[in-house]
């Protein structure tokens, strides 16, 4: 059952109970006037029932408010779940990048940071910037490429490196 149906049901019950209470209150007030209960303290039972009727009106007011809320203002559980799922999947690029870096070695981190800052950097320029030997850089780049974090594209006699 969705929230709108529940709200409509609660609203209907609230209106029905209100009508019953108004009818009962009218009868109690008529009886109290007939017995002269408002003039003296001999009719405690009738006054007690009237007090409980006021309490019941408070509960019915709550039911009516809840029904109106569920009917008009509640978005439903599905909408809240979808909103939470969207927030969980909305990691910024920087957050994703920092998560990736946590799983890498120091050399891989150094290479990834430089590639992120300079997309399309050539392998020879990267080697000079980070001060790594050709063999070591080639090995690190191969590992990163196998992990699906970078791609190397032929650019003249060297390779250009891009972050995926």
Find the range with the poorest average confidence among 13-27, 49-63, 88-102: 88-102
Contacts of 3 (CB under 8 A, 6+ apart): 70, 71, 74, 76, 77
Which among 101, 98, 156, 108 is positioned nearest to 130, based on CA atoms? 108
Q: What is the DSSP string of 14-82?
A: HHHHHHHHHHHHHHHHHHHHHHTTTTSSS-HHHHHHHHHHHHHHHHHHHHHHHHHIIIII---HHHHHH
Per residue in 91-144, pLDDT (tens digit) is: 677 778 888 888 888 899 999 999 999 999 998 899 999 999 999 999 999 989
CA distance 50 to 47: 5
Whole-model pTM?
0.46
pLDDT at 1 over 60: no
CA distance 117 to 94: 12
């Amino acid at each position: 059952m969705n929230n709108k149906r529940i709200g409509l049901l609660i609203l209907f019950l609230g209106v029905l109970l209100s009508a019953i209470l108004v009818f009962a209150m009218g009868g109690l007030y008529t009886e109290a006037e007939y017995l002269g209960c408002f003039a003296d303290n001999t009719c405690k039972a009738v006054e007690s029932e009237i007090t409980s009727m006021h309490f019941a009106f408070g509960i019915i007011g709550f039911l009516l408010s809840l029904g109106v809320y569920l009917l008009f203002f509640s978005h439903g559980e599905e909408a809240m779940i979808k909103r939470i799922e969207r927030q969980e999947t909305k990691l910024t690029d920087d957050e994703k990048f920092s998560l990736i870096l946590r799983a890498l070695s120091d050399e891989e981190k150094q290479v990834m940071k430089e590639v992120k800052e300079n997309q399309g950097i050539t392998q020879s320029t990267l080697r000079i910037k980070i001060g790594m030997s050709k063999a070591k850089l080639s090995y690190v780049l191969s590992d990163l490429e196998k992990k699906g974090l970078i791609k190397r594209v032929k650019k003249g006699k060297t390779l250009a490196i891009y972050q995926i």
